[in-house]
Amino acid sequence: MKNLEQVWDKRFQQYLKELFKYLRFVFATSYIAVIIAGSFAVAYYMKWLQVVPYDFPSEWLVSTICGVLLSFSSPVTLIREPDQVYFLQLESRMDSYFRKALKWTYWSQIFAVLVIYCAAIPLLLKVESPSLWKILLGLCAVLILKYINVQIEFSNHRKKQGRHRFIDRLLRMSISIIILKLAIEGEIIFFFIFIVIFVVYEIQDRKEAILEPIPFDYFSKIESARMARFYRFVSYFTDVPFLKENISRRAWLDFATKLIRYDQKNSSLYLIVRTFMRTDESVYLWLRLTIISAFIAAFVNVPFVVWVIVSALSFATIYQIKHMFISPRGVRMNAFYPIPDSNQQIAVNKLLRALMLLQGSIVLLSSSVQSASLIIFILIIIIGEMTIRFTGTK
């Protein structure tokens, strides 16, 4: 139906405008770090290829990584909450709308898998030395499997509204891994047998889904959650005024506040620490960056690369958590009390230094997997302290 296609086109334009509106802040503030990290990653990868053992399970590794990514094919429908009223009478004509939605879902998600597969080709050539037609067959398998996964996941959302989604995704993930493995190995007969089975499963699933009413309210909740994740990611780089913070109790962290001496002059510190512990955004940010730093320190054996990445993550950790507290967005517990701004700034700095020391200690312990490097700990402390002292407070 032409009108529904126009509705999609209009919403899609608004959606792209919203994406580019915020993504430009992300690229403007981090493109240099991405280029540096990417350059080091490529250099390390090429160096590792020179010493990779010939019995390395490259086919299984590539098939597993790509298969996992292919199975995550959540549809981008751009359905809104009012649609459960306005689109209800047009339910039988929604096919043209969803065709465009699934087409965008496919093309927006396939590129990440293609990049990883293409990046893995040198590894496959080094270890397995497959023929060109096997590489191309694997590439075709990626394209076909993504289409099937997108269709099945959409049918699952429409038919079951997310129920048993984990089992469905695990099944598709397993089949995708097997098919990719067969394609890279050049097992043509078994490859086509599994592809036919997967296609038949998709067709049957689609037929069952068509018989079910379209859950507009469910699709609108998925879209809201997806955009909320996007805005939360962007909030690490710029203010998103309408973004709501998620708060959790986290009683298991109460011991941290008990370490603060009961004194009137420590009231700001108590409130700042309590705010940090209960805000999902700040806690998960610190955990993510600390885990990444620890992983890099434990498993990357190029010291200079480790120093650069760990230093960058130390800066990102302190800068972003500091930004959360000095940003006007959100309600802070200390805002309800008549505490001088200078006291609050001192309290924030104390919290940041404690987080910096804890992060440095964890990364130092992780580096002992290879050989403990005190330089890593010193870099985290120096970069963190410089970030606290020389980044803006307003």
Note the pLDDT tens digit of each residue in 50-96: 888 888 899 999 999 999 999 999 999 999 988 888 888 888 889 88
DSSP 245: P
Q: What is the mean pLDDT of residues 170-192?
A: 94
CB 226 within 8 A of CB 219: no
Q: Average pLDDT of 108-121?
A: 94
Closest CA to 275 of 241, 239, 247: 247
Q: What is the pLDDT of residue 100?
A: 94
- Helices 132-160 + 58-71 axis angle, to 10: 30
Mean pLDDT of 274-298: 85
pLDDT by residue (tens digit) across 339-384? 666 677 888 889 899 999 999 999 999 988 777 678 899 999 999 9
Percent of the chain at pLDDT > 90 equals: 42
Question: Can you tell me the mean pLDDT for 227-236?
Answer: 80
According to DSSP, the residues that pair with 247 across neighbouring strands are: 279
Please give the structure tokens belonging to residue 340.
Answer: 């001088």
DSSP code of residue 279 = B
Average pLDDT over residues 118-134: 89
What pLDDT is stored for residue 1 in this prediction? 47
CA distance 326 to 320: 10
45-54, 74-83, 142-151, 242-251: lowest mean pLDDT where?
Answer: 242-251
Which positions ≥6 away from 275 have C-beta within 8 Å? 325, 332, 333, 334
pTM: 0.74
Which is more confidently placed, 48 or 356? 356
CB 270 within 8 A of CB 332: no
Of 105, 330, 320, the residue nearest 226 (C-alpha): 105
Q: How many whole angstroms separate alpha carbon 155 and alpha carbon 177? A: 21
- In this structure, what token pair is assigned to residue 375? 């330089």
What is the average pLDDT score of the chain? 85
